[in-house]
Amino acid sequence: MNVATLGTISLLVLFALCLASIALAMLGAHRKSARLVEASVQATYAVAALAAFASSLIIYAFLADDFSIQYVHHTSDSAMPLFYKVTAFWGGLDGSLLFWVLLLSVFSALAVRANRRRHAEMIPHVVWLLALINLFFIGLLVFVKNPFEPFILTPDIGSNSRGLNPLLQNAYMVIHPPSLYLGYVSLAVPYAFGMAAVITGQVDSAWQQSVRRWTLFSWTFLTLGLILGGLWAYEELGWGGYWAWDPVENAGLIPWFTATAFLHSMMIQERRGMLKRWNVSLVILSFWLSIVGTFLTRSGVVQSVHAFGKDPQLAWIFGIFLIVILVGSFGVVAWRWNLLRSRAELESPLSREFAFMLNNWVLLAMAFFVLGSTIWPTFSEWFLDERITIRESHFNHYMVPGGIALLLLMGVGPLLAWRRTSTESLQRQFLIPLIIGSITTVVVMALQWVWLKGELGGEVPSAKQLGAAYRAHVWALSAFGLCGFTIATIVQEFARGIAVAKHNNPKLSLLDAGIRLLVRARRRYGGYIIHLGVVLMFFGIAGKSYGIERKVVVKPGDTVALGDYEIEHLGLRATEDWQKEMITAELGVLRDGQLVDVLTPARWWYFQLPDQPTTEVSRYMTVGEDVYASMQTVDLTTGSTQLRLFINPLVNWVWIGTIVMLFGSAICIGTRRKQGAEQ
């Protein structure tokens, strides 16, 4: 028996086992039969193990260069490095669906194992819901996209295998898709628990405690996946930016918005018993949007450099699945509508819950705006017979004010108390952040005055010129001011928390009090660390507003000015290795006449895809800015090189902010035992 046959059999058994798991769990829940429920739980574990077996088979097929399997032939070649052969598993459509099944099966097994005693009544429903989602994807593998599908004839196929797209042979691309998949797939767990809670009528916040860490996990991996995708685009595509509102990038961002909203709104239900309907709706939407993301990436309904290609059959299947999820889930919510009523009401707009609700509305509005704008070109093509292109500027026009509103709420929310905040308290809480925010804005405006003076060759700018400059950068100035305000809020929260800890136990040192605060109230202070990371990201994003871009054609020996730098073309190098031909330009980066770095942007021509050269970017990185160069075209006879040169101010703070965010998430995810001690 060959690998293709064994793999196909394992998928068929997987399908049957998943069906059995659904039947056993439904019957077990209906008859309240422990035996059937236990069997369905065991079937969940078996599905996970069998999915792992099928995945290990396809990895073996890649490593053994088994080109009798079509998927292996299309996404690998024998010359590819071992590392990329393993990652080619999820590099194509069929394999990515199997990877999806593997992750969902393992997550289902883990979630069921962790909660089967705590939520005994919910578990059979959780089992069948997760198995039903899994069944859909396994069904796709069995009937539509079998990754083990062999060639009917076995010609000499090893010699002309296509291999993994060279653009994807990049370290970021190795981590980026699995991160996004981890984020997408794990959103199924909160969905299943939310729906099980509604079905069983256990709609208090207990189910949220079981899924809070899962949602944080999803959120963390979605964040990581999105940022790594941005970093890949920044280093690989050569257009000087990291985010261009590409439909596939948006597909990951949309559920990120709703997951962020849910992480905030679940706190209101926990503390006040409010927003039960809202929270259930948010988990449904987050999961639904994760499937929308998968649909957008795999069906080809949107045009993107990242998409897997057009597949109308998949588009229809996913479309029907999306409608079933939406109608079924909200149908159940409508059935339990009265049970989901709130136990408390909003007491004052000057309360933290109101700030959280505003944050939720803004996040949801952003999610639906991005979703609408992403699919509008497709809809316009279907209904108006004309594909309307939505540009980056359209997204920025609406999303930048939305982002600024979120930044403001991030600074204001922690300063407000639950239920209501008194006037004296407002004054006391807001005074320092407001002063710091105002000082930051004034300092940034002063710096812009200095920058403008430099631009004018030392001449003092007129009021009109200064006004025009401020108007052009109004969002960046607001962002910098709000960054100052929000950082002051976070520092004040830490300082006052430490003061209270020290007051309660005067023997503690400052450091001990800080650590104690982080350990005992991980969720609150971990959340503040995440906020700090977001602020740093906003700081980096706002810097883009002051960027410089130049497109130049230069020959060896030429020098061009770029902001405070000069770029000197030092020459070209043509090299070759076993995989590709490379042409590299050497560019000297000079500041005040001194050589500070040599950039080496390049073009690579892979032998397997000679008509798709890749752009290799080179950067001179500092804390304040990046000097970024990419080579567009090159004429080897004359040495004439077309370059795109950029100064990207503060861009590295986006990556630093991400690391801080991930650190904060790790602190939050660690919460469990000390919940009672949390503040």
Regarding 63 and contact with other proteins (CB under 8 A), the answer is yes
Regarding 48 and contact with other proteins (CB under 8 A), the answer is yes
Among 12, 27, 49, 439, binds other proteins (CB under 8 A): 49
Among 110, 114, 121, 390, binds other proteins (CB under 8 A): 121
- The dihedrals phi and psi of 64, each to the nearest 5 degrees, come to -90, 5
Give the distance from CA 564 to its chain's centroid.
Answer: 34
Site track for other proteins across 331-370, x = CB under 8 A: ------------x---------------------------
CA angle 135, 141, 146 (to 5 degrees): 165
Which tokens sit at 661?
Answer: 């965010």
- Residue 624: which of 603, 647, 607 has the closest Cα? 647
Calculate the alpha carbon distances from 621 to 120, 599, 617, 628 in Å.
54, 11, 12, 8
Please state the closest distance from residue 229 (CB atom) to other proteins, in A: 28
Which tokens sit at 34?
Answer: 């422990």
Q: What is the dihedral of CA 446, 447, 452, 454, to 10 degrees?
A: 120
Residues facing 588 on adjacent strands: 568, 598
- The dihedrals phi and psi of 364, each to the nearest 5 degrees, come to -70, -40
C-alpha count within 13 angstroms, C-beta hemisphere, residue 384: 9
Regarding 213 and contact with other proteins (CB under 8 A), the answer is no
Cα separation, 38 vs 259, whole angstroms: 31
Helix (H, G, I), strand (E, B) or coil at 581: strand
CA angle 41, 43, 47 (to 5 degrees): 120
Regarding 600 and contact with other proteins (CB under 8 A), the answer is no
Stretch that binds other proteins, among 153-161, 217-225, 499-507, 652-660 (CB under 8 A): 499-507
Regarding 57 and contact with other proteins (CB under 8 A), the answer is yes
Cα separation, 239 vs 532, whole angstroms: 28
Please state the closest distance from residue 192 (CB atom) to other proteins, in A: 19
Stretch that binds other proteins, among 168-176, 371-379, 411-419, 625-633 (CB under 8 A): 411-419
Please state the closest distance from residue 76 (CB atom) to other proteins, in A: 12
Regarding 516 and contact with other proteins (CB under 8 A), the answer is no
Please state the closest distance from residue 36 (CB atom) to other proteins, in A: 8
Which tokens sit at 669?
Answer: 């995810």
Among 5, 9, 30, 64, binds other proteins (CB under 8 A): 64
Regarding 102 and contact with other proteins (CB under 8 A), the answer is no
Among 12, 45, 597, 639, binds other proteins (CB under 8 A): 45
Q: What is the DSSP letter of 482?
A: H
Regarding 399 and contact with other proteins (CB under 8 A), the answer is no
**Of 34 and 446, which CB lies nearer to other proteins in the complex structure?**
34
Please state the closest distance from residue 145 (CB atom) to other proteins, in A: 21
Regarding 80 and contact with other proteins (CB under 8 A), the answer is no
Question: What is the distance between the terminal CA atoms of the chain, rounded to a whole angstrom?
Answer: 60
Give the distance from CA 29 to its chain's centroid.
Answer: 36
Among 12, 19, 23, 33, binds other proteins (CB under 8 A): 33
Neighbouring residues of 304: CB distance < 8 A, sequence distance ≥ 6: 246, 247, 248, 297
Number of neighbours of residue 319 by Cβ within 10 angstroms: 13
Helix (H, G, I), strand (E, B) or coil at 582: strand
Regarding 420 and contact with other proteins (CB under 8 A), the answer is yes
Please state the closest distance from residue 421 (CB atom) to other proteins, in A: 7
Helix (H, G, I), strand (E, B) or coil at 59: helix
Among 391, 397, 428, 674, binds other proteins (CB under 8 A): 428
Among 12, 157, 165, 202, binds other proteins (CB under 8 A): 202
Please state the closest distance from residue 59 (CB atom) to other proteins, in A: 6
**Of 15 and 308, which CB lies nearer to other proteins in the complex structure?**
15
Regarding 431 and contact with other proteins (CB under 8 A), the answer is no
**Of 33 and 170, which CB lies nearer to other proteins in the complex structure?**
33
Which tokens sit at 596?
Answer: 């500070």
Number of residues in contact with other proteins under rule CB under 8 A: 60
Neighbouring residues of 400: CB distance < 8 A, sequence distance ≥ 6: 475
Cα separation, 308 vs 346, whole angstroms: 46
**Of 229 and 414, which CB lies nearer to other proteins in the complex structure?**
414
How many Å is the Cα radius of gyration of the chain? Answer: 27
Stretch that binds other proteins, among 90-98, 302-310, 416-424, 578-586 (CB under 8 A): 416-424
Number of neighbours of residue 381 by Cβ within 10 angstroms: 14
Regarding 671 and contact with other proteins (CB under 8 A), the answer is no
Contact 553, 642 (CB under 8 A): yes
Q: What is the DSSP letter of 473?
A: T
Residues in region 264-293 near other proteins by CB under 8 A: 270-271, 273
Regarding 118 and contact with other proteins (CB under 8 A), the answer is no
Among 157, 350, 399, 419, binds other proteins (CB under 8 A): 419
Q: What single letter denotes the amino acid at residue 99?
A: F
Stretch that binds other proteins, among 56-64, 228-236, 538-546, 575-583 (CB under 8 A): 56-64
**Of 313 and 427, which CB lies nearer to other proteins in the complex structure?**
427
Stretch that binds other proteins, among 38-46, 313-321, 452-460, 536-544 (CB under 8 A): 38-46
Stretch that binds other proteins, among 274-282, 320-328, 636-644, 671-679 (CB under 8 A): 671-679
Give the distance from CA 590 to its chain's centroid.
Answer: 37
**Of 310 and 496, which CB lies nearer to other proteins in the complex structure?**
496
Regarding 434 and contact with other proteins (CB under 8 A), the answer is no
Among 206, 322, 432, 519, binds other proteins (CB under 8 A): 206
Calculate the alpha carbon distances from 52 to 11, 71, 126, 182 in Å.
11, 18, 21, 15
Q: What is the DSSP letter of 545?
A: G
Regarding 586 and contact with other proteins (CB under 8 A), the answer is no
Contact 62, 76 (CB under 8 A): yes
Q: What single letter denotes the amino acid at residue 184?
A: Y
**Residues that bind other proteins in the complex, under the rule CB under 8 A:** 17, 20, 32-39, 41-43, 45-46, 48-50, 52-53, 56-57, 59-60, 63-64, 82, 120-121, 200-202, 204-206, 270-271, 273, 343, 415-422, 424-425, 428-429, 493, 496-497, 499-500, 503, 676, 678-679
